[in-house]
Chains A and B, each alone.
Chain A
């Protein structure tokens, strides 16, 4: 329970969540975390001050210098993640150095991404219209999406043009660990969302569960059939690729390959393909969906959850979509949707898909032994395999949500106090984990690995863009059309 990134996402997420809950007893031990502020270049150069770029998260620490806040943020994150790296038997020295570089590059992109020409929207947000306040003559108006895209771009430049440097920091480039921790913390958001709109949240959750069945029972057989019939793949490669494309990416391809006892070279090749394609999906789909269907935010989010593979890329795509759609709607109508609902739609779909991977693999293992590999009639599949493949971070995510629901039903008086810490952890800690993911996922993505993938790459592209994406959109539309995030107050 201390050797894998999956468990460590649960521990780290629950630890930060627990710290946030202390506000119930009046103890704010999380408000020191640094946050970026919207700033403008000319204004900054005229009169430089760190307080124009950074701020602390709560009033308790208002007297702190912003750099002290950033330094404490660094110390807490580097210590907790390095402790995890130690137990996961990673190279601690390399991890520490790598994480430090990734942390500060992340913050650099986060701060630059908050420059007003990139992020400010010409509308009133939380009583401010930074576009007008800074007298901007032009602006990209990307909202928080600018920082995400910048972090991804910096990561991709490192991963593809500075490969020696990328190798030096790769020990700490753990997008799945970071995003799973972020997802656990997003459980707080789901809890708070449930308090605000219980019916909407339950509907979102149930629709996500239904979408999971589509991924397993519709996508998988179609891709498997095409792989076997038209691309002449052997059974193992077709099965591993089908899981990778249809279910949850790299983790599904490893789980399936393990279940059918494929040679490890197959999931390694398929996983490389998935990771590179996930990057294309992450870059292309959010702006395309934002512009094609600006009035269907929840449909777009859910479709994203079914289409984009790997939790990291899905969460990253969901976060960009969330920001782009909120910004576009704000720009067009002056009304601001509340942050996090579109992202949650993307993640809830993916989380349901993740939950069933252990059971799906177990069924595939049975089918393979009895019908494909029937020489092994005396081979047994330990039921513990289901447990090994069950994503543990999902349990932590559910636990966080349930704790919030428990507070809401049994101790409603403490909820306002719990929300103080909850908002800080869900905002500051969770967003930092997402930002670390964006940079890390770029660092480990090497587009040159597509060379030599031939048939597999062609099948992947066809399956993804001609089958999965359109069907996912139709299914998402059936379950979610007309659903809109609440308006931010």
Chain B
């Protein structure tokens, strides 16, 4: 299974995910999943992929970070 890692941000009321090859955004996380699937179909034709989203905690105001230093990481599996 191939792995793809993306950094996840939330800005201007939208989720943004990016790495060196991919840059996508959507209103909901499910929208990101759909766009990732489209990207994989276009670039790889077939295969199983583990997609890891790492939330960038810098999205939170500085004063909040002392209370909990972690938001979430997310993994999805896409088969095409």
Contacts and interface: CB of A to CB of B under 8 A. Distances in A.
Asked if chains A and B come from one complex, the reply is yes
Interface of A: 3-6, 170-171, 173-177, 249-251, 254-255, 257-259, 261, 263-265, 267-268, 271, 310, 365, 375-376, 378-382, 384-385, 388-389, 444
B55 A5 contact: no
Contacts of A263: 10, 13
Contacts, number: 83
13 contacts: A5-B66, A6-B69, A249-B67, A250-B64, A250-B68, A257-B71, A258-B55, A258-B72, A261-B72, A263-B10, A365-B72, A376-B76, A379-B75
Contacts of A170: 62-63
Contacts of A268: 60-61, 64
A477 B67 CA distance: 29
A365 B71 CA distance: 12
Contacts of B77: 378, 380
Contact of A389 (B55, B70, B76): B70
Interface in B1-54: 10, 13, 29-30, 33
Given A250-B68, A268-B60, A310-B67, 12 more contacts: A173-B63, A176-B67, A249-B67, A264-B60, A265-B10, A268-B64, A271-B67, A376-B33, A378-B77, A382-B73, A385-B73, A389-B68
B29 A261 contact: yes
Contacts of A177: 66
A175 B76 CA distance: 37
A485 to B, nearest CB: 30
Contacts of A375: 30
Contacts of B64: 250, 254, 267-268, 271
Interface of B: 10, 13, 29-30, 33, 55, 59-78
A264 B59 contact: yes
B10 A264 contact: yes
B75 A251 contact: no
A380 B72 CA distance: 12
A378 B78 CA distance: 8
B70 A388 contact: yes
Contacts of A176: 66-67
Contacts of B71: 254, 257-258, 264
A255 B75 CA distance: 17
A255 B13 CA distance: 20
B69 to A, nearest CB: 4
Given A375-B30, A382-B75, A3 B67 contact: no
